[in-house]
Chains A and B, each alone.
Chain A
Amino acid sequence: DTEVTQTPKHLVMGMTNKKSLKCEQHMGHRAMYWYKQKAKKPPELMFVYSYEKLSINESVPSRFSPECPNSSLLNLHLHALQPEDSALYLCASSQDYGLAKRRAGELFFGEGSRLTVL
């Protein structure tokens, strides 16, 4: 199984709603990532979890709250978002993180969750 599964594929929410994005991988990877991608732009790193601990927070606003319940699951909790937060949210995993080795950059991406904030 070399897949990263993200749900939901599409999400529309109002600025006062609370919702969550979910991501799952069963490759035994110990690093998981959230990226945000605007149309025709490169993905922007938001968070990195390594061995279920938050390793990197790229100064993301607190209205985005990540959670890693176990080594296979990654959630992104959304609250009080703004219309400019509308984007494709990509989850990725890699065998490990924090090492200058090939596998640290060998990311497996999910198909993404397309979020629209009204």
Chain B
Amino acid sequence: GEDVEQSLFLSVREGDSSVINCTYTDSSSTYLYWYKQEPGAGLQLLTYIFSNMDMKQDQRLTVLLNKKDKHLSLRIADTQTGDSAIYFCAESIYNQGGKLIFGQGTELSVKP
């Protein structure tokens, strides 16, 4: 079945870059997404990438997609304490009408 895997924790210093990695299994995925969840809040869509793209940049965020290895990464440049949150990657399953499958989430801790 479909599966999305992420490492559970990442700790960085303020000002450094953070790289959060994700692997997925469904080769029919059309879009892949990154969501952010701050403590006590709902999820917020950060960015997405279409499966025929290799890279997408959006201000401090860079998404890299290696479709051959089914590997997705989110790079946050100049990480700030306000970036501390849980980051979920998610794939939409084409043959299930676009249903989202979420990874386990990576808890990013940014230390001053």
Interface residue ranges, A against B (CB under 8 Å) = 4, 40-43, 45, 48, 55-56, 90, 92, 97-102, 104-112
Contact = CB atoms under 8 A, between A and B. Distances in A.
B102 to A, nearest CB: 4
B42 interface: yes
B105 A40 contact: yes
Which secondary structure dominates where chain B touches chain A?
Answer: strand
A102 B97 contact: no
Nearest to B44: A109
Given A105-B33, A111-B41, A100 B98 contact: yes
Contacts of B99: 45, 48, 56
Interface residues of B, number: 26
Contact of A42 (B33, B97, B103): B103
Interface of B: 30-31, 33, 35, 40-45, 48, 50, 86, 88, 90, 92, 94, 97-100, 102-105, 107
A104 B98 CA distance: 6
A105 B107 contact: no
Given A101-B31, A104-B31, A106-B45, 7 more contacts: A42-B104, A97-B98, A101-B98, A105-B31, A105-B100, A106-B33, A111-B40
A97 B100 CA distance: 11
Nearest to A43: B102
Contacts of A4: 42
A90 B31 contact: no
Nearest to A98: B97
Nearest to A96: B98
Given A42-B88, A100-B30, A105 B41 contact: no
29 contacts: A4-B42, A40-B105, A41-B105, A43-B43, A43-B102, A56-B99, A90-B42, A90-B43, A97-B97, A97-B98, A98-B97, A98-B98, A99-B97, A99-B98, A100-B97, A101-B98, A102-B48, A104-B98, A105-B98, A105-B100, A106-B33, A107-B35, A107-B100, A108-B45, A109-B43, A109-B44, A111-B41, A112-B41, A112-B42
